[in-house]
Structure 1
Amino acid sequence: MVSNAPASQHGHASEKAYRWIKQKILANRWPDGAALKERDLSQEIGVSRTPVRDALRRLTQEGLVETIPNQGSRLKRWDSADLEEIFGLRVLLESYGARMAATRVTEQELAQLHALCDSMDALVAEEMQSAEAKQQLTRLNERFHETILQAAHSHRLAALAAQLISFPLVYRTFETYEPNEIFRSMAHHRELLDAFGARDPIWAESIMRAHLSAGHRSTSRSLVKITESGVNA
């Protein structure tokens, strides 16, 4: 009998490396363009270099990492064209998802969305300027958008949109928002719930489109500031 243990262990190590590196990318552990050295990562994660190489290859396919010939891997550098594409795709996919969710959302899913909104509103009311609170808000916001996609009950749509929601530029959105932008985003969330409660697909689609367009504008502003600070450093 042939044992599959080595292959299984390698798969586990590769998944461990992938999740560890991706979590650090989304948490803004490294600046855009930072070198990702296999040896350093393998020592920090506690796996060999082969699983790290597999993880970096997978993250390259997802667009989070880029490979430079004769230099190795580095964190993807983002620019306004990337932002335009990401939010353009999100508007198309998530506004369609909101439209579908308005007529397909279950009572349980609607209750989950209300609970997420309550948690976000509580954070905004208590510590809106806290960096930790904004990180929590970001995670709750991601779950809110994922739940809407799940409520559309379309596996294809969920698969297409999943990576766009977790892009670093999108994931770190609330860290750069001004107070009025956070309040506006929370108001959009509540109006989406009103549209879902009314089972109105056109209303839900229009609010999601406005919500993401506003997010695009705010994130573009912060990207310009980051770019200018890098040039002037």
Structure 2
Amino acid sequence: MERTEELIRAGVHSGAYPPDSRLRERELAEALGVSRVPVREALMRLAAEGLVELEPRRGARVRRLTLRDVEELFDLRLSLEVFAARRAAEIVAGGGGHDGLRSVMAEADAATRSADQAGIAAANTAFHAELITMTDNRLLQSSFQRSLGLMHWLFRLTATEHGAAQHRTEHEQICRAIGDGRPRLAEALTYSHIDIRREPVLRALAKVLPAE
């Protein structure tokens, strides 16, 4: 079941299933060699991530990503992740651990060394998701869940070799601030890490994405 979800997600990220294209259960099941049940469940989970839209009596289709989506994603991340980084550092300062964040950093290191663009995007997404997880705030996690698919998609669309190394360095700085239990530094580094990319990302994507 998880494998089916991973394959469909990868198809969306790679462009094999283009934006606005229909995702028909029978065709996907035949192509992936599974029954329609895991396909249906995978599409529901991908809809929860924001990659797929489910329409009554019409089935599923790949979401059409727009510049407005990207703008709103940056706004959401600045609201939620900056708070999460500060809270994570506070938890560590109070005696908590950050093993999950260090584990994600190890995955990012391996992907960056091997120039695995898909692995880099996955590790980057996992890093930001782990910040949210560290807060142990269920409502925050639920609110953030729907942006994960869009975030991963955005990382794939804007991936560059230089960008991967820069992301890794900035993630390491955030990880260190959290590990040292320094909330204000973790907050500032996370804000800068996200906000500094807004303008160049939007400028680059303006060439390929519609405004609305």
Measure, in 1, the Cα distance between the counterparts of 2:107 and 2:44: 36
Structure-2 residue corresponding to 1:120: 108
Alpha carbons of structure 1 residues 41 and 105: separation in structure 2 relative to 1, 3 Å:
same
Matches within 5 A, 1:172-187: 172-174=154-156, 176-187=158-169
Measure, in 1, the Cα distance between the counterparts of 2:207 and 2:28: 30
What SS is found at the alignment partner of 2:30? helix
Across the two proteins, how many residue pairs are aligned to each other?
209
Give the RMSD, CA atoms, in angstroms. Answer: 3.3
Higher-RCO chain (CA-CA 8 Å, sequence separation at least 6) = 2
1:193 and 2:193 equivalent?
no
Q: 1:60: how far off? A: 4.2
Gapped runs of 5+ residues in structure 2?
none
Q: Deviations over 1:61-93 (max 9, x none)?
A: 553223568865321111100111122111111
1:139 and 2:126 equivalent?
no
CA contact (8 A) 2:120 2:164 kept: no
Alpha carbons of structure 1 residues 177 and 17: separation in structure 2 relative to 1, 3 Å:
closer
CA contact (8 A) 1:36 1:73 kept: yes
Higher mean displacement: 49-58 or 72-81: 49-58
CA contact (8 A) 2:25 2:39 kept: yes
Alpha carbons of structure 1 residues 59 and 121: separation in structure 2 relative to 1, 3 Å:
closer
Structure-1 residue corresponding to 2:132: 149
Please report the TM-score for the alignment, with normalisation by the length of structure 2.
0.77
Higher mean displacement: 64-73 or 198-207: 64-73
Structure-1 residue corresponding to 2:147: 164
Max Rg structure: 1
Please report the TM-score for the alignment, with normalisation by the length of structure 1.
0.71
Which structure dedicates a bigger proportion of its chain to helix?
A: 1
Gapped runs of 5+ residues in structure 1?
1-12, 229-233
1:97 and 2:84 equivalent?
yes
Higher mean displacement: 209-218 or 185-194: 209-218
Alpha carbons of structure 1 residues 43 and 151: separation in structure 2 relative to 1, 3 Å:
same
AA matched with 2:131: I
Measure, in 2, the Cα distance between the counterparts of 1:68 and 1:61: 13
Structure-2 residue corresponding to 1:225: 207
Q: 1:198: how far off? A: 2.9
Measure, in 1, the Cα distance between the counterparts of 2:55 and 2:128: 33
CA contact (8 A) 1:65 1:74 kept: yes
Alpha carbons of structure 1 residues 54 and 149: separation in structure 2 relative to 1, 3 Å:
closer
